Amino acid sequence: MTATETPVAIVGLGKIAVDQHVPSIAASPAFRLGAVISRHASMKGVPCYSSLGDMLAKEPDIPAVALCVPPQVRFDLAHEALSKGRNVLLEKPPGASLSEVEALSDLAKSNGCVLFATWHSRFAKGVPRAKEWLANREIGKVMITWREDVRHWHPGQQWIWQPGGLGVFDPGINALSILTEILPAPVQMTAAELEFPENRDTPIAARLSMRGSGKLAVEADFDWRQTGPQTWNIEVETDRGLLRLTGGGAHLEIDSRDVTDAEALQSEYDGIYGRFADLLREGRSEVDVSPLRHVADALMLGKRLVAAPFND
């Protein structure tokens, strides 16, 4: 530990916290893990609390909190931390609704706190280069194929099937976060088909149509029933060539030529904590809700289709 490391507390010690947040905090020169808040788990050598309120009362020198809990319970915890003057990092999606996130953004501003709504896929290795390459090109068709195995990534996690859990949009919003980052102009949702298992409250598959200015048209295919190799691809046709992002944004090809190559998820969370350190130093929040807005629009415009029951 050095004098320049900022202690950060993690709320929720589930898979994403253990696999991504904890290692990235450990690797960061800007942060150290100051505390863990969890009702069911603990971490050796780190102060552990069963409630956020207890931690806030007993750890006045921890200025930042990373919320790694399901979105349905995130608002109250973020509100509690911001009300106590702590800076907050939100896992994606930043909330269960747009109005929740907007309220938190207003609270952070009024209390002089930093609020960072993270989108980890934007920190994938190929994304910044893709954004740069597309900036001055006329974009035609965009095809997104985002198919994965929910049993592998969310084993036994019932919150994803409950209202506010997003269902297949939990991974699909990663694709939308990349899309909204790399396109030089916004797109609007025009139609959607959503497949809901007859025993679940959130969709297991979605097909989306979006349009932008000129010839820009986006089609997206999200599905949580794929087994074997996982598919996280975005293909963009332009007036000056074809761009392909694969591996969730880790691999970038331009006209079939490899431009960058990295393991999926590699350094994404390192990038998140690097950005959080910058925001804290600048005293500036970053809250982009455009990916979540596309999900909300899909749920508003979507035609509901009934799929076979899903059981873990």
pLDDT at 4: 80
pLDDT at 219: 98
Written as tens digits, the pLDDT of the chain (312 aa) is 455 899 999 999 988 999 999 999 999 999 999 999 999 888 999 999 999 999 999 999 999 999 999 999 999 999 999 999 999 999 999 999 999 999 999 999 999 999 999 999 999 999 999 999 999 999 999 999 999 999 999 998 999 999 999 999 999 999 999 999 999 999 999 999 999 999 999 999 999 999 999 999 999 999 999 999 999 999 999 999 999 999 999 999 998 887 775 554 457 999 999 999 999 999 999 999 999 999 999 999 999 999 999 998
Q: 173 and 303: one domain?
A: yes
Q: Specify whether the CB–CB gap between 194 and 204 falls below 8 A.
A: no
* Residues noted as catalytic: 92
Q: pLDDT at position 264, please?
A: 47
The last residue of one of the domains, among 117, 143, 167, is: 117
Q: CA-to-CA distance for 24 and 32, rounded, in angstroms? A: 10
In angstroms, the CA 21 to CA 42 distance is 15
Joined tokens for residue 148: 């994965």
* Domain at 43, CATH number: 3.40.50.720
Confidence (pLDDT) at 266: 52
Instruction: Check residue 263 and give its pLDDT.
Output: 52
How many angstroms separate the CA atoms of 191 and 216, rounded?
15
| 243: containing domain | 122-255+296-307
**Residue 267: what pLDDT?**
77
**pLDDT for the residue 41:** 83
- Do 90 and 151 sit in the same domain of this protein? no
| Adjacency order of strands within the sheet including 87-90 | 48-49, 31-37, 6-11, 64-67, 87-90, 115-117
Q: What is the pLDDT of residue 262?
A: 54
Residue 212, in any domain of the structure: yes
CA 256 to chain centre: 28
Say which CATH number the domain at 206 has: 3.30.360.10
Query: Given this model, what pLDDT does residue 247 score?
Result: 94
Are 67 and 104 a contacting pair, CB within 8 Å?
no
Interacting residues of 93 by C-beta distance below 8 A, sequence separation 6+:
71, 166, 169, 170, 173, 291, 292, 295
- What is the longest distance spanned by two Cα atoms in the chain? 59
Q: Of 139, 137, 94, 95, nearest to 119 (Cα)?
A: 94
Side-chain half-sphere CA neighbours of 249 within 13 A: 26
Measuring CA to CA, how many Å separate 171 from each of 17, 204, 253? 16, 11, 22
Q: Among 88, 117, 146, identify where a domain stops.
A: 117
Tell me how crowded residue 299 is: count the other CB atoms within 10 A of its CB: 18
